[in-house]
Structure 1
Amino acid sequence: MKIPFSWLKEHVALTKSAAEIADDLVRLGHEVEGVEEPRAAVKGVLVGHILSKEAHPDADKLSLLKVDVAGDAPLDIVCGAANMDAGDKVPVATIGTTLPNGLTIKKGAIRGQTSFGMCCSEVELGLADESAGLLILPKDAPVGAQVGEYLGLEEAVFDLSITPNRGDCMNARGIARDLAADYGLKLADIPGFTPQLDASVSVPSISVENEVDCPLYLGRRIEGIKLKESPAWMQAGLIMAGMRPINGIVDVLNYVMLYFGQPMHAFDADKLSGQISVRSADKGEAFAALDGRSLKLHDGDLVVADATGVVALAGVMGSEPTGVTESTINIMLESAFFRPARVSETRRSNAMVSEASMRFERGVDPQMVVSAMQQATRIIVELFGGKASDLSVAGSADSINSAKQVHCSVSRLESRLGVDIPESVDEVLRRMGFNIVRNSDRLEVLVPQFRHDVSIPEDMSEEYARVIGFDAIPEILPALATTAPVKKDRSIHEAVAGGFLQVVTYAFISAEEQRLFVADDGADIELENPISDAMSVMRRSGWPGLLNTAKYNLNRQQSGVALAEQGRIYMRTPKGNSEYNVLTWLMTGEVESDQWFGSARIANFFDLKGAVESWLAGRGLTGRFIADDSIQGLQAGQSAKILIGRNEAGRIGKVDGDIAGQFDIDAPVFVAEINLDLLHDGKQAKFMPLPEFPGVERDLVFLMDRKAFVRNSGSDAILQQVRKSGGKLLIDTRIFDLYEGKGVPEGMISVGVRFALQDPTRTLTQQDSDAASKAIIEGMEQKFGATLRG
């Protein structure tokens, strides 16, 4: 929400600077996003008087102007607008001026003619989104004057982020009330106004069927208005406040809302039929909103209706058919109090939001309903003429959010805040509207009607803290018992986040299942009194339990299974029984189902390997997968041990087909296991700025003995060697091709390696790339006897 500084000054005699007031607003609990300076944004734009206008000799749509800006001599300016002539006064941006759109004016030649400035439209001055030409100033505008001062542009505009509980401050008067109370200044009275009523203008007929959701509704008819644009001062104020001028009547109501906090609506009275009623909507009732949408309303939505149907979604938006247009002559003004919860429900159920709904949802000042109606009537009649009817009133403001009391203990508030609360602070809150009586340690508070957010002692703590200042509250940590920090283990949660289903299986398995993946080395822990033979030993691997669970799910028409379990394994050691915390995975069946765009895909080794690598990367770790055909229970050629640093921390591979068959699983089954107790702390992720300089990629293709490739665990060892040889500039490497066959000697394999280089401080040269390539080629030759393929 944006509030011009001048609006605040109209409510309270402020003497502090905008910057000082911004600091005080923050102390009072109002977040200040920024302070804009519209007048400063057009500094250097002067009132200019066009002395002459001539056609440009080389361009049909350009003119050559001589413009007096009260300088030593008139300025020659090339202009593309067509709505000005000699004698007009226009804004002129002089050389060196930076306009709100970021354009800096410089001396330049346009089609061979030198221009010493630029004549401006409302768009260039930041006063409108579009314009038909230059802004023509009044004839009496003083030549050479600063346009910002002459037009009365705001010296400052506060951009505020009002918290949801402070609906009373979503307007200039509410903010001014807080400032006036804090500074001990008088808040200006709202100008009294009793419109001159015309008995010939009929009073609108109003009924309120839903008095709970609408305890107060006012209506007034104004006839014979001559609608035109709102005055420049109002349009400028609305633009500074972040709203777009629409038409005279709408602008007045938006101005009153931003100024006093009471949303209002105007209907074209000639488009209404019969009595106006405030009621609950019927399910499916039609509503054509002002924003062009056609809605089917929900049962219970609060609406304003006439004899033909819904004309407004109460507190949210009016209807397009009854909206005010340039041809409107007679209007009906609406001012009301709608129950915040009902407006919120109606707005959410219809996915609509408006400036009005944001204020009604937070609660408006009930006493402002009548005042805003009188002020809007006054401004409309003064600007557009017309005759006003008497008010049609349904309900009363007196009972709305009234007589709400809070009883609390001063000592309790002081204990909560950690500071003493002097009685002088009570006086500030009284100026904010609270009726406070302090009797020794007892505090009796009568809450003002416009403060819908205060109802319990904790709310009063916040009010006192706002006045005292949160910065004044001491930073004292409470006394806590010293305990050793416990690091939460999120291992299984991270595995589940990778797409696996968490399961929990028994820690007891059969001796036969134990032998599938663990040798009979006397390290089993046998139960003295097992429940059954199927649960006779403590497990030394989590894989049997996962296989049984996979079998159960596959037998129930699950096309694919991805399981993860975190648990303990147990074994006998020379030092006694030991247990280890492990994380196990299993994947089998479909990983992608049949779709119109592709066939089903069965899980493979690399699906599970990728999942384990992602899990490790999430912990800041990198694993090396070293081929190992000796892992019991896993198929040779598709099994590997997992090294983290120098520790063998896990295993991964394809379950032997015969073992999978014992669990009635026909599809390939892949399992993995990580001993969590062997993992060290990984690298902490830290922010790295995006590189400013480009990187380079190079491909190298090597010929190497196939036996050496297999003996050195294949691709992982090659990538490790490339990283070792590539130097500090290497940021990534991968194998993009493995090939055996035609063109490759028998017993050899072709390995394509792609690597990327980058330096965050400079652009790389050919020499950098050549040096890295040479080092990698030498390293591959030394390690594997590999040669560069020609």
Structure 2
Amino acid sequence: MKFPESWLREHVEVDADTARLCSTLTAIGLEVEGSETVGGELPGVVVGEIIACEKHPEADRLKLCKVSVGGGEPLQIVCGAPNARLGLKAPLASVGAELPGGLKIKPAKLRGVESFGMLCSAKELDIDADASGLMELPADAPVGEALSKYLGLPDTSIEIKLTPNRADCFSVRGIAYDVAAALGSSVKPLLIEPQPTKIELMLPIELAAGADCPRYAGRLIRDVDASTPTPVWMAERLRRCGIRPISLLVDVTQYVMLEIGQPMHAFDADTLRGPVGVRKARDGETLKLLDEREVKLDEGFLLITDADRPVALAGVMGGWDTRVTESTRNVFLEAAHFAPEAIIGRARKLGMHTDASHRFERGVDPGLPRQAIEFATRLIIQIAGGKAGPLKIAERAQDLPQPQPVTLRRARLARVLGMQVDDAVVDALLRALGMEVESTSEGWRVTAPSRRFDIAIEEDLIEEVARIHGYDRIPMSSPTGAVPPGRHPEDRVPVAQLRQATAARDYAEAVNFAFVDAALLQRWGLPAEVVLANPLASDMGVMRPSLLPGLVEAVHRNRDRQQDRVRLFEIGRVFARGADAPVETERLAAVALGAARAEQWAADDRAVDFYDAKGDLEAISALSATTDLRFEPGQRAFLHPGRSAEVFRGDVHLGCVGHLHPRLLKALDLAQEVVVFELDVGPLAQRAVPQAAVLSRFPSVRRDLAMVVPEGTTWGALESVIRRTLGPQLKRVWVFDQYVGPGLEAGFKSLAMGLILQDDSRTLAEQDVEQMVQGAVSALETHCAARLRG
């Protein structure tokens, strides 16, 4: 956004020079990319009028002019500009004047004719880059008046860089609100009064684009003299905004857009039949635009239509057939509110970029169309005459954006900024930005003006307070360099320790993608519950329900690269379908293939098996050691049914361990046995908080039992029954022998177990021990079909 400083100061009075104004703009987030001084004091340069113009007697390209400066004798000037002519008003630098480039004007003699001054171009005065001829001033320019006074020089053209959320600052008035808030001033009222209706003609308006165009305003103005030149004050402001003046009607719409922020368009009303409408383009429709390009449209574009005929590309550019020219007599002015999502990317799709699309893509105040029409009508009638018709506004009130109140909490503001800001300061600066502020017990309830599309949540208001109050006022504190001690619940084993313990068991850590192929899960017999709508690749379309498929694929790749012994583990999240969102669970998984130990001379080479993985698993779980693990036969589809188990700690299920199923190995093209385990980290890491207790002063008693049980009975089942029966007086129980053979029935086995019994309050008598042992034997007979071996 580029604008002249003088224009901004018409909207807000501030006691700040140009340097401070620019630094303030940058400090509040409107970064000044550059500033350029336009013109200067130009002492000795006045408005002159050529009252006589003749050919130079000795040079074909020079002219001998008599120039009036409003008083005294006319000056004789020799001029070579092609547009020098009788009646022209142009800047005159008299003898003694010094121009911005350092040129000092002195009396001169050109081809034998004396010249007492110089008629100037805009470039010579450092006003514009045009050096093609004299700078032509309007016919009503006061002869003899200092040019700097007439043109408002010197001035500064300031260019600021705006972030996409600050669409409200694409106008001089929008910038004025921020400047006023930052410098403790207030924005002057902009009085735009309704223009009196002189004619009753009006084109009907039809809205057929739904929420894409909820408001459209239009007005007819008849008997306009469009050939009237643009006033110099308007043309100069446009130039200082980086816009080349074209014609009065076009320049008025540009001027209104730059001052208040509403893009507009002017149609030649004699080319319209009506009704004027807004609708979506039909696929394949074409339209010739103002730049004389014919574009092919699709249903993603919005059109302004005349009796259903496309006449403009909504929010981007007008059409060629209905353009205004200097011969235009009747004008139809339009100003509309378009939803940003209906305009975003449309100009870019056609390889274009316009001031209108740039603003509509970011959002324009929906309350501006009426003001813009009234403002433009007043300017046109004042400059070029005409009779205004009634202002017609069509709208869909339900689709117009409505500012919603946002709560700003005092405590939240202080926490985010790291400082306290006085309530009065917060209230004042929010009001200076044009917001409605209501005090509450916790802070403020703020409603932003309709031009501030970027105010939606509490953090947006905190940003406003920070940037206007001053980022430089926020206290700075350097890092101390001290690393605070990590806090971890005492009843949980840190994941880092689980990682270290697994690595200590000779597993290397792997990191796999959380995305897997649905076909791979199908081979494993696992559900594809969380499917991605937009996957990175065709083989990464499902969030993994288990860590094992990815780990086994990594093992396969290592095996293909001649690695005979592979042991990998991973700690990561798996995903399952939830009621509202996917459920994430952290797990620890490991896989092993090849020899149980690395090749060495002191031990025989053997393949890794179930008991190696079980031992590793028990060693890792010993970190928490709340109770011993319990293993029960498992029936998972991807595990070998006779060589796998489900893992429990008490009644809590942890996961599984075992060999992969032979069918799965064949499907995965693996020729060797693969042993795996996978556990939920949550229950695995849970541990009892250590508590001090007095050691029993009384002796313990050992008893050994040999029980004959069915061959399918697991030690875990026997242990569970014994612990449940004997309670706290059982300090330890373990199995130390297993016998199968002569002396036992087929299908039975004998398990020898040791029991350590101890009471904390007394010495156990022999009869107490015998009673406890008999109770354990009875419970095993009842629950496990066991009998005492004779």
Task: Please classify the TM superposition score into its range, dividing by the shorter chain length.
Answer: 0.5 to 0.7
Task: Give yes or no for contact 2:339–2:363 (8 Å, CA) kept in 1.
Answer: yes
Residue of structure 2 in register with 1:223 after alignment: 222
C-alpha displacement at 1:30, in angstroms?
Answer: 1.2
**Partner of 1:668 in structure 2?**
none
1:181 alignment counterpart:
181
- Offset at residue 155 of structure 1 (A): 2.9
Compared with structure 1, are the counterparts of its residues 474 and 105 closer, same or farther at alpha carbon in structure 2 (3 Å cutoff)? same
- Larger mean CA deviation between 382-391 and 123-132 belongs to 123-132
Listed as ranges, the matches of 1:49-68 within 5 Å are: 55-65=55-65
Counterpart for residue 208 of structure 1? 207
Query: Which residue in the other structure is 1:418 paired with?
Result: 418
Which runs of structure 2 are paired with 1:365-764 in the superposition (5 Å)? 365-395=365-395, 400-423=400-423, 424-477=425-478
In 1: Cα distance, 2:78 partner to 2:168 partner: 51
Q: How many angstroms does 1:58 deviate by?
A: 3.1
User: What's the CA shift string for 1:648-683, capped at 9, x where partnerless?
Assistant: xxxxxxxxxxxxxxxxxxxxxxxxxxxxxxxxxxxx
Residue by residue over 1:123-142, the C-alpha shift from the partner in whole angstroms, topping out at 9 and shown as x without a partner, is 54434747564636758745
Q: Given residue 343 of structure 2, which amino acid in structure 1 is its aligned partner?
A: V
Q: 1:305 to 1:4 in 2, by over 3 A?
A: same
After superposition, the Cα gap between the structure-2 partners of 1:478 and 1:314, relative to the gap in structure 1 and judged at 3 Å, is farther
Q: Alpha carbons of 1:480 and 1:262: their partners in 2 closer, same or farther (altered >3 Å)?
A: farther
In structure 2, distance between residues paired with 1:114 and 1:3 = 42
Change in 2 beyond 3 A, CA 1:191/1:397: farther
Alignment of 1:271-350 (within 5 A): 271-307=271-307, 309-350=309-350
Q: CA deviation at 1:168?
A: 0.9
Q: How far does residue 180 in structure 1 lie from its aligned partner after superposition?
A: 2.7
Which residue identity does 2:302 align to in structure 1? L
Q: 1:127-276 residue pairs with structure 2 within 5 A?
A: 127=128, 129=130, 133=134, 135=136, 141=142, 143=144, 145-153=145-153, 155-201=155-201, 203-228=202-227, 229-276=229-276
Larger radius of gyration: 2
Kindly provide the amino acid, as one letter, of the partner of residue 459 in structure 2. Answer: E
Match of 1:333, SS state, is strand
Please state whether the residue corresponding to 2:212 is helix, strand or coil: coil
1:271: how far off?
1.4
Task: Name the SS of the counterpart of 2:217 in structure 1.
Answer: strand
Letter of the structure 1 residue corresponding to residue 472 of structure 2: D
Residues of 1 paired with 2:454 and 2:283: CA distance?
Answer: 32
Q: Does the Cα contact within 8 Å between 1:83 and 1:134 map onto a contact in 2?
A: no
Evaluate the alpha carbon distance shift between residue 357 and residue 106 of structure 1 in structure 2; reply closer, same or farther with a 3 A threshold: same
Mapped partners of 1:70, 1:200: distance in 2: 46
Other structure's SS at 2:344 match: helix
In structure 2, what is the equivalent of residue 496 of structure 1?
none
Which deviations, in whole Å up to 9, do the C-alpha atoms of 1:545-599 show, x marking residues without a partner? xxxxxxxxxxxxxxxxxxxxxxxxxxxxxxxxxxxxxxxxxxxxxxxxxxxxxxx
Give the whole-Å Cα distance in 2 for the aligned partners of 1:68 and 1:391. 46
Matches of 2:64 and 2:560 in 1, distance apart?
Answer: 104
Counterpart CA distance in 2 for 1:5 and 1:216 is: 33
CA distance in 1, matches of 2:129, 2:396: 41
Give the CA deviation at 1:436: 2.7
What residue identity is the alignment partner of 1:405? P
What is the CA–CA distance in structure 1 between the aligned matches of 2:384 and 2:225, rounded to whole Å? Answer: 5
Tell me the CA shift for residue 307 of structure 1.
Answer: 2.7
Q: Deviations over 1:408-434 (max 9, x none)?
A: 432222222222121122211112122
> d(CA) in 1 for partners of 2:154 and 2:205?
41
Q: CA deviation at 1:345?
A: 2.9
What's the counterpart of residue 653 of structure 2?
Answer: none
Q: What's the counterpart of residue 35 of structure 1?
A: 35
Instruction: Report Cα offsets for 1:204-252 as digits up to 9, x if no partner.
Output: 1111111211111112112221212222221122112221111111111
Do the aligned partners of 1:84 and 1:136 also contact (CA within 8 Å) in 2? no
CA contact (8 A) 1:262 1:364 kept: yes
RMSD in angstroms over aligned alpha carbons?
A: 3.5
Listed one character per residue, the Cα deviations across residues 300-332 of structure 1 (whole Å, up to 9, x for unaligned) are 211112235321111111111111111211121
**Which residue of the partner structure matches residue 492 of structure 1?**
none
**What residue number does 2:20 align with?**
20
Distance change (3 Å), C-alpha of 1:394 and 1:47: closer
CA–CA separation in structure 1 for the residues paired with 2:283 and 2:560? 63
Gaps of at least 5 residues in structure 2 are 485-557, 567-790
In the superposition, relative to structure 1, how do residues 272 and 76 fare at CA in structure 2: closer, same or farther (>3 Å)? closer
How far apart are 1:356 and its partner, in Å?
Answer: 1.1
Q: Which residue of 2 aligns with 1:744?
A: none
Q: TM-score, normalised by structure 2?
A: 0.56
User: How many angstroms does 1:391 deviate by?
Assistant: 2.2
Instruction: Please give the secondary structure, in 2, of the residue aligned with 1:37.
Output: strand
Aligned to 1:598: none
| Aligned partners of 1:93 and 1:105 also within 8 Å | no
For 2:170 and 2:189, how far apart are their aligned partners in 1? Answer: 19
CA contact (8 A) 2:2 2:158 kept: yes
Structure 1 residue 294, shift from structure 2 partner: 1.1
Aligned mates of 1:308, 1:531 — CA distance in 2: 70
Structure 2: distance between partners of 1:304 and 1:532: 65
User: Runs of 5+ in structure 1 lacking a partner?
Assistant: 484-529, 539-790
Whole-angstrom CA distance in 1 between matches of 2:70 and 2:174: 43
Contact between 1:6 and 1:154, CA under 8 Å: does it hold in 2? no
Sort the Cα spacing of 1:97 and 1:449 in 2 relative to 1 into closer, same or farther, 3 A: same
Alignment correspondent of 2:93: 93
Shift of 1:22: 2.1
Q: For the Cα contact (< 8 Å) 1:88–1:139, is it kept in 2?
A: no
Paired amino acid for 1:324: V
Aligned residue for 1:212, secondary structure, equals helix
Structure 1 residue 473 displacement after superposition: 1.6
Distance 1:315 1:277 in 2: 14
Query: Aligned with 1:401: secondary structure?
Result: coil
Q: 1:87 Cα shift?
A: 8.4
Letter in 2 for 1:169: C
2:431 partner letter: R
| Counterpart-to-counterpart distance in 2, 1:300 and 1:195 | 36
Q: Which amino acid aligns with 2:219?
A: R
Residue identity opposite 1:303 in structure 2: L
Q: Which residue matches 1:121?
A: 121
1:79 is aligned to 79
Task: Return the offset for 1:438.
Answer: 3.7
Aligned to 2:536: none
SS of residue paired to 2:155: coil
Q: After superposing the two structures, state which structure 1 stretch, 178-187 or 70-79, moved more.
A: 70-79
CA positional deviation for 1:72: 12
Specify the SS of the correspondent of 2:382. helix
